[in-house]
Structure formats: C-alpha cells, structure tokens
Structure 1
C-alpha cells in the first residue's frame, strides 16, 4: 500500500520546514500557510506580489547557510521564532519592530557565514520581512502546486553519494512510503490522497537548493550532476507537482494514496 509518510509546510520561503500531521490544500493548489512569509531584498518593488522568483529575496538555492536556521511560526499568536547559534528571536509579525528584529537577526547570522558576500551586493540590504502570514504567495511558480516525492527515490539518491541525503533536501509538501524508487515520475492522470483528488502536472526539475546539507548549511553533494549522470536524467528531476480537483481539502499522515490512472 502506498501511504503518506510525512507532510511539510514552509511558512518562510527558503527556510526550514515544519512537519505537520495534516495539510489543508486550497482550491488554487497551494498549501494553506505555505510560503506565506519571505525575506525580500531591499530593491524589490511590490514585494507582496504573488509571483516570486528566487532572485527577489533569500532562498536556499543561492544562500545555503539558511539551512541551519530553525524557524517556527505560530499561526494563532502570529509570532515567528528564529534560532541559530547564539541568536534566538521570537517576534510578533504584526509589529513592524518585530519584523525588523527578525530581519536584523538573519543579517547578523549571515555575516558570520560564507554567504556574507551576498550582503555586500547592491540592493540586498536591508532585508524586508514580507507577507501576511496567512496567504500562500511566495512560491517559485505563478500557479500553486502541491509537491510530492517518494521516500524510496530519495533513498536511491542517498545510496549513490557519500554525503547524507534525506527528504529535507527536496522540500516537498508530501513524502510517500510504499512506492518503488522513481515510480512517481511515471504517474500521469489522477491520483487520490485520502479523500482529496489531484491531477499530476509535471515532474519537478531541481535547483541548487538540494546540494545544501540541511544540518550544516554547506554544499556537500553535487546532486544535480548525480541525477543526470548516475540516474540518466536529461534534467535533474525528483518528485512531481499536483493540482487538486474539486476544490482541494485536507490530507493527513497515514492517508492511503491511490493512482487512478497511471
């Protein structure tokens, strides 16, 4: 049986995930609360636009040191907590001073890392902490999607390289158990997760974010090259994108997954 092994949302774009027991999939295909906040560069105009390429702010692809920052978001209290090394900030995002404190903390941390050179580039500082903490808007693609991969595919990659590779590198919303390695890339048509039906849209072409170790923030594996050379892919690919049918709904850890048309 194929089932949901883990669910994740990413409240702050480019930062650490929150493991969840359930996710609400909105009619637009986005996960509720996913990428609802972001650190924008100083020269970004209209930073709350829904189309958000990685070049507009902090993202793991270009700033691997972000992987070390533990971020938690309390939806009810409207607080973001950020912890790394001797930095521990818990701030109210409805207070401009709280947002400024979070931006200052991230800046202070990055100054201690190999990514400090980014801060010297024109138009980067000061960061603006943007988003309302409710609306999922800072995805890489204009169309909202739910991302999914099979744990067996990641295990296959892990076995091919000396660096540790786990699901966190691939930043999917849904991780499945019970699939064969790479099986999900062959799916087409419709699949059902619990009571929610989805259409399979396309495979996920990966970026340099997957090369960053999620514990150390160091690029320690040339996974883009590994996917193309060792697994024979034309472009580095792992996982698939989904869109909900009939308005979305709630998916849960342990839900059975049924491929309706493979």
Structure 2
C-alpha cells in the first residue's frame, strides 16, 4: 500500500436532490443547482410571513401555507396559490425596516409592502384565527447575523436566516424509503420528501446514515464545500400535513414515534440532520455531485 495514499472515506454518497424554501413554511422549489452561502442555500428562508406583532407564522397555525408555491423567474420571486393571481416580487426588493421574531430571536428585517401583505392576508386570513387575519411579508436583512446555537455548533460561528435554527437540513432517500415501508405495512399511503422540507437529499447511503457522520465534503466543479451535521432535526406536526392538500393526519408522526425517538433531544422524534456551512461560500452545489464523510465517533 502506498503510505502517501489518502484513505477512502467511510461514506460515499451523492447529492440526489436540492431544495430551497424561499418563504418560510411555504412550499419548496427543487433545483438542479444552488449556490451555497454562509447561511445555507441562496434565497432559502429569505422571506417570512409575520402577524401584526411581527411574530412569524407557519404551517403549525396556518396549514394552507403549504399550498403557496414559489418559483424563480427573470430576477423575481413569483408566488402562486389556488384562486389567487400570482404575486411577483423582485429578488432584491425591500421596503421599510421591520423588527420580527422567529422563535426566540428578535431580528431586524424589511417589510415587503402592502401588496404582498394583502396577498397573504387574502389567501391565509379567511380561515385563520382572529389574530392572524392580517399578515405581512418580511425579508431578511442580509447585513444581520443571526447565530446558530453554539451549544450544537461546538462553539463555532455559524449563521442562518429565517430557518428554525440552522442553515441546512440534510436527509437521505433511504430514510424516506424506510419510513414508507413502515407506513405501508401499517395500512397508510407512502409520502414524499416534501413532508420533511430538506435542503440536501443524499443518495447512495443507508437509512439514517446522515445521523451518524461528521463533516461532509461535497466535490464541486471549482473545489469543494464542507458542511457538518450538528443537531438532529426534532419534528413538529408539519410532516403530518399533506403538501398537496394542506390536510393533516397523524400517520407520519405516529409512525415515526415507534422508531425515531432520539435521546439526544430528550426522546423527541427526529428525521434528518441540521447542518452548518464550514467551507464553500459561493460554491455551486449540483445534483449528482459526490459527497464523502467519515463516521462520527
């Protein structure tokens, strides 16, 4: 054996899918390629719907957010929803400063104006509780640094925009296939990956290998990017919401409860890993790129 040879990585995978969710808790966009930034994928959770007090809202309160479908078109974010004319927003548009809250973080942001506010209120307000009848759309201020929890990053500096807490969510197609075997065995219909809202879906690995690896090196056309899974993703009721109909049923959560209780999160059910960006700001990630990692011990 050549002593200078580099040992093969424990895990050899590929990027199978890339997703961004421009408006927090609305539908995602599957992309063939996406730019990696220090906060995650470009435009991921860059916008967020808030109530009159600036508090974020999500599918937890308003399941119909799942029916709002974004798209990128000619320098614009275009939003469609059933029964609504499409809303077009310039990707660099912003209006008045607006202070918003996402979980425990108060964040300086920008209001996206009255037209966007009316659009979201018209679509989501009629079936909403009284305090959620009037909504606004906020844009993350790129000059703001919203830190990830250092207790999970090992004290390393990492930031995100309006995501729940970390810049990236990594899952695998094998993990979804494992869940679907269990769902079908229990008499339920299989589900697709939209339920879990990942950014990067890995192929070529075993079920939940993403839980067990350290830093992941992604071979790009220019160099390499490095991301690191740091925290299991605890799951709220959102995976129970059918992204096509916005109707909730408990089958997914009930099934996960039987085998995915995670002691790292005091027994909460988990699916996928939250990850941070270590290297590669500005690199282009593409479906099919090679991903390598070693087991975490």
Structure 2 match to 1:50: none
Query: 1:179-227: per-residue Cα shift (whole Å, max 9, x none)?
Result: 111222122x322122212222121111111111010101123323321
Alignment partner of 2:218 out of 177, 193, 215 = 193
Query: 1:15-68: per-residue Cα shift (whole Å, max 9, x none)?
Result: 1111112222223x4222111111111112xxxxxxxxxxx2231232212112
Partners of 1:207 and 1:147 lie apart in 2 by: 15
Structure 2 match to 1:7: 18
Q: 1:92 to 1:182 in 2, by over 3 A?
A: closer
Partners of 2:192 and 2:115 lie apart in 1 by: 32
Q: CA RMSD in A?
A: 2.5
Structure 2 match to 1:206: 235
- Structure 1: state its 5+ residue gaps: 45-55
Structure 2 match to 1:237: 270
Alignment of 1:110 onto 2:146: no
TM-score scaled by length of structure 2: 0.72
Judging by fraction of residues, say which structure has more strand: 2
Query: 1:93-139: per-residue Cα shift (whole Å, max 9, x none)?
Result: 53869842333232222355xxx142x12xx3421211058676212
Larger Rg: 2
Alignment partner of 2:135 out of 105, 111, 127 = 127
Alignment partner of 1:168 out of 194, 207, 221 = 194
Partners of 1:81 and 1:32 lie apart in 2 by: 16
Q: Aligned-pair distance for 1:254? A: 0.4
Q: 1:196 to 1:150 in 2, by over 3 A?
A: same
Q: Is the 8 A contact 2:175 2:208 kept in 1?
A: yes
Which structure's relative contact order is higher, taking Cα pairs within 8 Å and 6+ residues apart? 1
Alignment partner of 2:84 out of 87, 97, 100 = 87
Partners of 1:132 and 1:108 lie apart in 2 by: 23
Q: Secondary structure at the match of 1:131?
A: strand
Alignment of 1:70 onto 2:69: yes
Partners of 2:59 and 2:278 lie apart in 1 by: 31
